[in-house]
């Protein structure tokens, strides 16, 4: 499934459409500890987390995550939206629980 196909499911709110929408997602990856994600998130993954901050975007960029999905009603401020846009990171959210 590509990032675009994931978006097309209409299951997520789009916070930012990144620049790699045709990229194939490799697998889901669920982790809320940034240090663990930094060492273990596979490139191309759909990273699911509650950590909606600037450091999350840095880890997503470092690990080459396909996209970040924030779950569980995480509040996102305007600076995070701007950073996701400037980095070309696809950032999605859902109020649903991860499971």
Strand partners of residue 49: 70
Residue among 56, 89, 95 nearest 74 (CA): 95
Residue 95 confidence (pLDDT): 92
Residue 2 confidence (pLDDT): 98
Query: Whole-model pTM above 0.85?
Result: yes
Residue 30 confidence (pLDDT): 97
Residue 35 confidence (pLDDT): 96
Please list the rounded mean pLDDT of every run of 10 residues in the chain (99 residues): 97 96 97 97 97 96 98 90 97 90
Q: Show the DSSP H helices in 3-53 as ranges.
A: 3-8, 34-40
Residue 14 confidence (pLDDT): 97
Cβ atoms of residues 94 and 9 within 8 Å: no
For residue 19, the SS3 value is: coil
Q: Show the DSSP H helices in 1-99 as ranges.
A: 3-8, 34-40, 54-63, 78-87
């Amino acid at each position: 499934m590509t990032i675009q196909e994931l978006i097309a499911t209409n299951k997520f709110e789009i916070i930012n459409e990144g620049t790699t929408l045709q990229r194939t997602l490799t697998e889901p990856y669920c982790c809320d500890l940034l240090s663990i994600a930094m060492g273990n998130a596979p490139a191309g993954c759909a990273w699911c987390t509650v950590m909606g901050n600037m450091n999350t975007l840095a880890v997503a960029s470092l690990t080459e995550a396909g996209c970040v999905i924030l779950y569980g009603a995480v509040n996102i401020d305007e600076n995070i939206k701007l950073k996701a846009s400037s980095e070309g990171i696809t950032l999605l959210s859902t109020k649903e629980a991860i499971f």
